[in-house]
């Protein structure tokens, strides 16, 4: 509830104005029975009708006009509340820490921004106003009733109290089913995201029907929660109906009898019946308000869940190249483990000399990519530290750490959009000359010239409209365009043909004059010329040295080299 009020808080002026207009509209409505009584009385004693009828007409028109105005004002405010909640959610989701992202399903997170926040729309404005207005209208109606006749008022309130108790029991149940329904909608999103994200694997495995069944199951859960919600809503609706009919009939019966015996004026009975009739509006509003509020609270739980996920606060959108000279990097006894796993890095230490090329090799799962992730502070080491030119990166803002680095990911994903937007992604301010230079260095110029739309060609979702090798070259070009101090390349040339690989090695060698390069490679041919090679095995450094030194000193390296026929004599050893 506090969270919900927090969302509404910054719009309190609009809400207060809305409330005042709503109350004025309610007062105009509530005054109508009294005005009607004066009309009936005027009719009875034959006095002039003009004034009472005019007042009644004004009340009717003003009441309706004000109702229109406050509804519009509230709807507008509701949209603003939803917008500000969405804005905040979007900002948080894009800054979530990687470990939080590892744990979450993107589709479910998306559903919180799209569908859950919609439920807040009415809860933060309409519901709050309805409750205040309904309560005020109800109290006003009760005062009018008692002013008219105490006996009839007692009858009416007795009947209403029973209804209130039943509804009080039903409302919290609505909240629970709404949370359940929204969770199921989140599961639908997560399931679809999973299947569409791996559409080719799904099709190749003939798994369409299985995926369909899993996602449909989640949709089914949403429907069942919706059924439960419909049941409670119907109950509330039915009870509300009773709440109006029963007092109305009671008043009509008892009031009719009293009027017949002369203990009640006919005009009072009419005015009272009208009051009961007008009271239906604030009362339905009160119940509707509470019911909407419960729905909103159901959504708030899931939205608030995002607010509890850890985000990176030290990132900004500075994109200027850092410049400066290539730094030396030192990794000191770094230990790291993923949640619930054994150590991925277990006391890793080595130094990458400034401006040099350091290759990281080792069997699959040795922890090479994890090391790169730590270098960029995607994760924090459990112990040990990583320094850049002697400064602990844990003490630098993440933005600064990452600004110094050009990163080429293992599977080199591209973002949907044009080729150019992908190239300039890490360096939007790069000049056209810089762009041409990296396109030539990464041998992408041929591709650009071949494509009918050149740099404006769309690359498709995750870059599907490019070949694997083209995507890799694009990723390298993007990283180089950033003019980083440090270049991290994870298997960056695994999908390139021999000609392109040689060309790229030249480009990297050229870049290495300006920056410190760390590269992960399975293909040892790409690392033979590195200044230093670090051999990782099961999270530990088992050897460091040049290619020739390692052939001598490291059995694991010799084995890796031999299996790639780089050193046939090693096989014989
Ligand atoms: N996000 C993650 N959550 C949990 N465990 C992970 C995660 N990423 C990697 N691992 C595990 O950590 C270990 C090291 O993985 P890493 O990706 O660093 O290996 P690698 O040396 O780069 O392997 P490859 O050469 O196959 O890419 C592996 O056992 C892997 O299963």
Residue ranges, the chain, pLDDT below 50: 569-573
Instruction: Classify strands 329-337 and 383-388 as parallel, antiparallel or unpaired.
Output: antiparallel
Fold for 2-177+230-307, please state it.
ABC transporter transmembrane region fold (1.20.1560)
| CB-ligand 1 contact for 344 (6 Å cutoff) | yes
- Residue closest by Cα to atom 4 of ligand 1: 338
Cα 521 to averaged position of ligand 1 atoms, centre (Å): 15
Place of tokens 């090391």: 371
Cα 367 to averaged position of ligand 1 atoms, centre (Å): 6
CB atoms inside a 10 Å sphere around CB 527: 20
- Residue closest by Cα to atom 24 of ligand 1: 364
Q: What is the three-class DSSP state of 477?
A: helix
Structural domain spans, the chain:
2-177+230-307, 327-404+484-567, 415-482
Cα 130 to averaged position of ligand 1 atoms, centre (Å): 54
Please provide the DSSP assignment of 58-73 as one string. HHHHHHHHHHHHHHHH
Cα 164 to averaged position of ligand 1 atoms, centre (Å): 59
- Residue closest by Cα to atom 1 of ligand 1: 102
| CB-ligand 1 contact for 450 (6 Å cutoff) | no
CA 243 – CA 47 distance, rounded (Å): 37
- Residue closest by Cα to atom 2 of ligand 1: 338
CA 53 – CA 86 distance, rounded (Å): 50
Cα 244 to averaged position of ligand 1 atoms, centre (Å): 66
- Residue closest by Cα to atom 29 of ligand 1: 365
Phi/psi at 140 (5° precision): -60, -45
| CB-ligand 1 contact for 103 (6 Å cutoff) | no
CA 458 – CA 456 distance, rounded (Å): 6
Cα 134 to averaged position of ligand 1 atoms, centre (Å): 59
pLDDT of residue 379: 95
Which is the closest atom of ligand 1 to the Cα of 373? Answer: 18
CA 486 – CA 406 distance, rounded (Å): 6
pLDDT of residue 472: 83
| CB-ligand 1 contact for 369 (6 Å cutoff) | yes
| CB-ligand 1 contact for 366 (6 Å cutoff) | yes
In the structure, how many helices (H) and strands (E) does the chain have? 21, 10
pLDDT of residue 568: 53
Cα 331 to averaged position of ligand 1 atoms, centre (Å): 18
Cα 126 to averaged position of ligand 1 atoms, centre (Å): 50
Instruction: Classify strands 357-361 and 383-388 as parallel, antiparallel or unpaired.
Output: unpaired
Please provide the DSSP assignment of 478-535 as one string. HHHHT--SEEEEESTTTT--HHHHHHHHHHHHHHHTTSEEEEE-SSGGGTTT-SEEEE
| CB-ligand 1 contact for 102 (6 Å cutoff) | yes
- Residue closest by Cα to atom 6 of ligand 1: 338
* Domain 327-404+484-567 = CATH 3.40.50.720: no
User: Strands, DSSP E only, in 338-456?
Assistant: 343-352, 357-361, 383-388, 391-392, 405-408
Tell me 325's DSSP state. P
CA 16 – CA 12 distance, rounded (Å): 6
Cα 370 to averaged position of ligand 1 atoms, centre (Å): 6
Which is the closest atom of ligand 1 to the Cα of 367? Answer: 18
- For 206, left (φ over 0), alpha (ψ -120 to 50), or beta? left
Which is the closest atom of ligand 1 to the Cα of 372? Answer: 18
- Residue closest by Cα to atom 7 of ligand 1: 338
Residue 293 has which token pair?
């509020």
pLDDT of residue 570: 43
Which is the closest atom of ligand 1 to the Cα of 363? Answer: 25
**What does the radius of gyration of the chain's CA atoms come to, in whole angstroms?**
36
pLDDT of residue 572: 41
- Residue closest by Cα to atom 25 of ligand 1: 364
| CB-ligand 1 contact for 534 (6 Å cutoff) | no
Would the CATH topology of 2-177+230-307 be identical to that of 327-404+484-567?
A: no
| CB-ligand 1 contact for 494 (6 Å cutoff) | no
| CB-ligand 1 contact for 321 (6 Å cutoff) | no
pLDDT of residue 571: 42
Cα 355 to averaged position of ligand 1 atoms, centre (Å): 27
pLDDT of residue 94: 92
CA 220 – CA 57 distance, rounded (Å): 52
pLDDT of residue 573: 40
């Amino acid at each position: 509830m506090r969270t919900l009020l927090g969302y509404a808080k910054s719009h309190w002026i609009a809400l207060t104005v809305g409330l005042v207009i709503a109350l004025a509209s309610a007062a105009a409505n509530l005054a109508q029975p009294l005005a009607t009584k004066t009309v009936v009385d005027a009719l009875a004693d034959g006095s002039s009708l003009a004034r009472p009828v005019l007042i009644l007409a004004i009340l009717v028109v003003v009441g309706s006009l004000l109702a229109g105005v406050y509804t519009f004002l509230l709807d507008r405010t509701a949209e603003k509340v939803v917008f500000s909640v969405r804005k905040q959610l979007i900002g948080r989701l894009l800054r979530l820490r990687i470990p939080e992202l590892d744990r979450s399903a993107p589709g479910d997170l998306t559903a919180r921004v799209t569908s859950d926040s919609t439920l807040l729309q009415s809860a933060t404005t309409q519901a709050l106003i309805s409750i205040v207005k309904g309560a005020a209208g109800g109290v006003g109606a009760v005062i009018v009733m008692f002013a008219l006749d105490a006996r009839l008022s007692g009858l009416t309130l007795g009947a209403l109290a029973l209804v209130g108790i039943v509804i009080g029991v039903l409302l919290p149940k609505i909240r629970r089913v709404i949370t359940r329904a929204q969770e199921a909608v989140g599961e639908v999103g997560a399931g679809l995201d999973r299947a569409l994200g791996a559409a080719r694997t799904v099709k190749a495995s003939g798994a369409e029907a299985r995926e369909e069944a899993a996602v449909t199951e989640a949709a089914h859960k949403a429907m069942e929660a919706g059924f439960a919600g419909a049941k409670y809503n119907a109950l509330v609706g039915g009870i509300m109906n009773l709440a109006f009919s029963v007092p109305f009939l009671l008043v009509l019966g008892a009031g009719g009898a009293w009027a017949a015996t002369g203990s009640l004026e006919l005009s009072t009975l009419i005015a009272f019946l009208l009051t009961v009739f007008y009271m239906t509006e604030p009362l339905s509003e009160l119940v509707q308000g509470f019911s909407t509020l419960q729905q909103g609270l159901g959504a708030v739980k899931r939205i608030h869940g995002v607010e509890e996920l850890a985000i990176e606060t030290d990132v900004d959108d500075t994109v200027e190249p850092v410049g400066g000279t290539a730094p030396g990097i030192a990794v000191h006894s770094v230990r790291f483990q993923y949640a619930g796993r054994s150590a991925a890095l277990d006391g890793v230490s080595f130094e990458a000399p400034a401006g040099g090329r350091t290759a990281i090799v080792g069997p699959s799962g040795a922890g090479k990519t994890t090391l790169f992730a730590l270098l960029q502070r995607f994760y924090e080491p459990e112990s040990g530290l990583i320094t850049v030119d002697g400064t602990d990166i844990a003490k630098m803002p993440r933005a600064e750490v990452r600004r110094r680095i050009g990163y080429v990911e293992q599977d080199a994903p591209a973002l949907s959009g044009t080729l150019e937007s992908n190239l300039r992604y890490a360096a939007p301010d790069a000049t056209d000359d810089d762009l041409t230079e990296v396109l030539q260095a990464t041998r992408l110029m041929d591709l650009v010239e071949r494509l009918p739309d050149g740099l404006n060609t769309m690359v498709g979702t995750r870059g599907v409209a490019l070949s694997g090798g083209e995507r890799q070259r694009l990723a390298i070009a993007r990283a180089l365009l950033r003019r980083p101090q440090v270049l991290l390349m994870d298997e960056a040339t695994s999908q390139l043909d021999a000609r392109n690989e040689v060309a790229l090695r030249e480009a990297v060698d050229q870049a290495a004059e300006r920056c410190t390069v760390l590269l992960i490679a399975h293909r040892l041919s790409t690392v033979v010329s590195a200044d230093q090679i670090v051999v990782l095995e099961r999270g530990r450094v088992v050897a460091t040295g040049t290619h020739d030194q390692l052939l001598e000193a490291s059995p694991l390296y010799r084995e890796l080299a031999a299996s790639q026929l780089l050193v046939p004599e090693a096989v014989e050893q």
